[in-house]
Structure 1
Amino acid sequence: MEASFAEATQRSLLTRGLVFLMALTCGFTVANVYINQTLLVSMAHTFRTTEVQIGLVATLVQIGYALGNLFLVPLGDRVERRRLIIALLGLVSLALALAAMAPSASWLIAAHLLIGATTVIPQIVFPWAAELADVRQRGNVLGKVAIGLICGIFGARLLSGIVDAQLGWRAMYWISLACMLLLIGWVRWKFPRSKPSAALTYGALLRSLGPLFLKESVLRQACLSQGMVFGAFSVFWTTLAFLLKSPTYSLGSEFVGIVGLIGFGGVFASPVVGRIIDRKGAWFANLLCLLVVAASFLLLAISGNRLPVLLLGAFLLTVGTQANQVACQARIFALSAEARSRLNGLYMVSTFLGGAAGSYLGVLAWSHGQWSMVCLTGALMAAASFGGLAGRRRNQADGARAAEEKSGTR
């Protein structure tokens, strides 16, 4: 009875205003992972290095993000989340300052490893939102929070391209630093306190990750699905600046950012997929998203040298990737209420390891076969993502979700 009352009290905290603030926090923080993708060419010129070498910036920031998800995100199950978010905002502010002052490419690459590791705040916010939401509206709430995430990803590309063209790439990192400092005050003022769901020590928390991964087949399938999709996504966006600045297009940094505007299509896709999850189930939404991603690479491979087709392919890829993340998270959040941060941490480790592999393979593909090789690499990763749907019944994850809903109404 007391537990039910405590859960109801927690859920009453999830007002529309708090959902908006969570979305905003996710957007501003996740932007730190993506601002580099538009700036890679300018960074290479500054340090007089090759495209493959400077591509390590995009690779290391995603490896850092994976490490942060492995070692920091699980703390959301045992540490008060508002305090954890504020601490991470302070650390990412320091990392951004180090990147802005980088005297060498090696320094810049190391700073991006730290940026990635400390800017995992969205992956602490998402399980928190899932915990506070009514189970029958969880897909809808996650879709709304994902809007902020999408705006951050593509707003970062748009703004960084414009700032780079006008003020240079270093200015973008100082702007991001100022945003993080403002967020510290905002989170402290507006976010409620959370109640930890696990009493494990930090060591026990980390030791539980392996058994949890082996136990939950739905988690493993979601990791494969989004890991490969996000890898394909990174293949495209990491090499887009090289394509648009090549003789095929001969466009500047600001246009790379403008192309990023097409990514805002994901803003419309996330609420839609949230409603599909609530009505048709997460597995069905997952399949639909993977088909959209596969279609995008088919278009890019056939006519990526034509700007309208490039924009359409970018739109479909973005919509499919962002919506697939919401669908996969809905699947894993139905597995265990006590381990949501750990489940999400493991899921995002796989996602960003896939993204790091995609960033590296994309630059490598560009250096060996330019756009045709990039499209082949992305298409192969997209094809591999369908393995995340194999070998399970359609209603498996949805059955777990239905069981949780049933137990929550008792």
Structure 2
Amino acid sequence: MKSNVRPGLTRGLIALMAAACGFAVANVYLNQTLLVDITGTFGATEAEVAIVTTLTQVGYALGNLILVPLGDIFERRRLILALLGVTSLSLVSAALSGSITWLIVSNFCLGFTTVIPQIIVPLAAGMADERNRGKVLGTVAIGLVCGILGARFVSGLVDSFWGWRSMYWISFGCTLLLALLIQLRFPVSKGTTSLPYRGLLLSLGPLFIKEGVLRRACLSQGMVFGSFSVFFTTIGFMLQAPPHSYSSAVVGLVGLVGIGGAIATPLIGRIIDKKGASFANKMCMLVALISFLIAAPAGHWLPALILAAFLLTVGTQANQVACQANIFNLSASARSRLNGLYMVCTFLGGALGSYLGVWAWSRWHWMGVCICGMVMISVGLSTALGNKKWREQPQTISS
């Protein structure tokens, strides 16, 4: 039987890449289920504690802008290990936080250095055969889905038994283990561009302006991921307030059901390989929009919220695969820069969604949250529907 991957990209390595992406990205999301208890610890308001998760995602966006392009210059395994080292220090700092300001700064630094998945994904894309790139990206994205949603469930469970600080210590131990596995199993890679770092950063603006495919992908996933943050940043406030009054463990469980959405990422990869990213992109955004149409009128019915969480996760994560498959076709030598710009916009959208979600909740509660999410998705969907030719002819990007 003919292998679906190139010789250097074994199934075991793909699985490790998926796991590494999951464990690394979990650090960005573990604080979302902890917000209620963090509020109690420091006597902060809901608006103040929302800055914790908002600046974590802002830090992640900046890390994608400043650090991820280094993957086009340096050997990626060494770069990943260096970032994991700084990430572990940020986790210790968060666990020892003595004030809300200290915790905010620690989480910002955590988000800034936890960009490992966005260095791994271009590496996987470059090692994959063009005919199977969508499938490989979809498989690696399973780890991202499980990390994002598993972080909420595990952090909620840990918080219920041992408190929110314990979650940061557990993540610290997992980060050290991940660093060991990467040191032992990841391949040695080479930089793909001769540009110096300053030239690399200066190339980002012209690259963004030049590539319409990249701009549309950024807007699409930025808005969809923003709606994802709107939902999951505020659902804890609703479920832990009357009439529900659930524990943080139950809040995490609602997020966990979305892991079932991981099955959609390899499926969307196959759809991309067969029907193209334009079809997949529009389909994913429609699924995300439907999730809010379900959640809005049934916010106090837990089964409806679980279904909405599942569909929103499917739409968000599958849309990320569709958009990345499109931008990686633009240039092999600029994949880290393309992915860095793409993820900057994605997580700026996520940070905006986190802030707007808490703002809408504080004024109009759950219905306001759902309307906010639907508006964000509609902005991205209108751009995709208004563009008749999503897939442009790739242009040559100077290395």
Please classify the TM superposition score into its range, dividing by the shorter chain length: over 0.9
Alignment counterpart, residue 138 of structure 2, candidates 117, 140, 143: 143
TM-score between both structures, scaled by the size of structure 2: 0.96
Question: Given that residues 226 and 354 in structure 2 are in contact (C-alpha distance below 8 angstroms), is that contact kept between their aligned partners in structure 1?
Answer: yes
Relative to structure 2, which stretch is displaced further, 132-141 or 387-396?
A: 387-396
CA distance in 2, matches of 1:266, 1:388: 25
CA distance in 1, matches of 2:290, 2:389: 22
Question: Given that residues 94 and 102 in structure 2 are in contact (C-alpha distance below 8 angstroms), is that contact kept between their aligned partners in structure 1?
Answer: yes
Correspondence for 2:170? 175
Q: What is the one-letter code of the residue matched to 1:154?
A: L
Alignment counterpart, residue 11 of structure 2, candidates 16, 19, 28: 16
The yes-or-no answer on 1:304 pairing with 2:299 is: yes
Correspondence for 1:82? 77
Identity rate of aligned residues, in percent? 60
Number of aligned residue pairs: give it: 393
The yes-or-no answer on 1:352 pairing with 2:385 is: no
Post-superposition offset of 1:262:
1.3
Alignment counterpart, residue 255 of structure 2, candidates 260, 280, 285: 260
Correspondence for 2:371? 376
CA distance in 2, matches of 1:124, 1:385: 25
CA distance in 1, matches of 2:174, 2:390: 43
Question: Within 5 Å, which residues of 2 pair with 1:170-249?
Answer: 170-249=165-244
Question: Given that residues 224 and 387 in structure 1 are in contact (C-alpha distance below 8 angstroms), is that contact kept between their aligned partners in structure 2?
Answer: no
- Superposition CA RMSD, Å: 1.5
Question: Given that residues 58 and 359 in structure 1 are in contact (C-alpha distance below 8 angstroms), is that contact kept between their aligned partners in structure 2?
Answer: yes
The yes-or-no answer on 1:54 pairing with 2:61 is: no
Post-superposition offset of 1:360:
0.5
CA distance in 1, matches of 2:47, 2:386: 38
Post-superposition offset of 1:15:
0.6
CA distance in 2, matches of 1:42, 1:125: 33
Consecutive unaligned residues of structure 1, counting only runs of 5 or more, are 1-9, 404-410
Relative to structure 2, which stretch is displaced further, 197-206 or 305-314?
A: 305-314
Q: What is the one-letter code of the residue matched to 1:333?
A: F
Q: What is the one-letter code of the residue matched to 1:151?
A: C
CA deviation string 1:192-214 (max 9, x = no partner) = 10121101111000000000000
Q: What is the one-letter code of the residue matched to 2:206?
A: P
CA distance in 2, matches of 1:112, 1:241: 19
Q: What is the one-letter code of the residue matched to 1:241?
A: G
CA deviation string 1:281-330 (max 9, x = no partner) = 01110010011011111111121221111111111111000000000000
Post-superposition offset of 1:388:
3.9
CA distance in 2, matches of 1:99, 1:201: 34
Correspondence for 1:117? 112
Question: Given that residues 225 and 387 in structure 1 are in contact (C-alpha distance below 8 angstroms), is that contact kept between their aligned partners in structure 2?
Answer: no
Q: What is the one-letter code of the residue matched to 1:373?
A: G
Correspondence for 1:72? 67
CA distance in 2, matches of 1:391, 1:382: 14
Question: Given that residues 96 and 177 in structure 1 are in contact (C-alpha distance below 8 angstroms), is that contact kept between their aligned partners in structure 2?
Answer: yes
Give the SS at the match of 2:74: coil
Correspondence for 1:104? 99
Q: What is the one-letter code of the residue matched to 1:179?
A: C
TM-score between both structures, scaled by the size of structure 1: 0.94
Question: Given that residues 264 and 314 in structure 2 are in contact (C-alpha distance below 8 angstroms), is that contact kept between their aligned partners in structure 1?
Answer: yes
Q: What is the one-letter code of the residue matched to 2:184?
A: W
CA distance in 2, matches of 1:254, 1:127: 35
Correspondence for 1:291? 286
Q: What is the one-letter code of the residue matched to 2:347?
A: F
Correspondence for 1:279? 274
More helix by share: 1
Post-superposition offset of 1:133:
0.2
CA deviation string 1:351-410 (max 9, x = no partner) = 00000000011111111111111111111111111144145334624x549x9xxxxxxx
Post-superposition offset of 1:248:
2.9
CA deviation string 1:127-151 (max 9, x = no partner) = 1100000000000000000001111
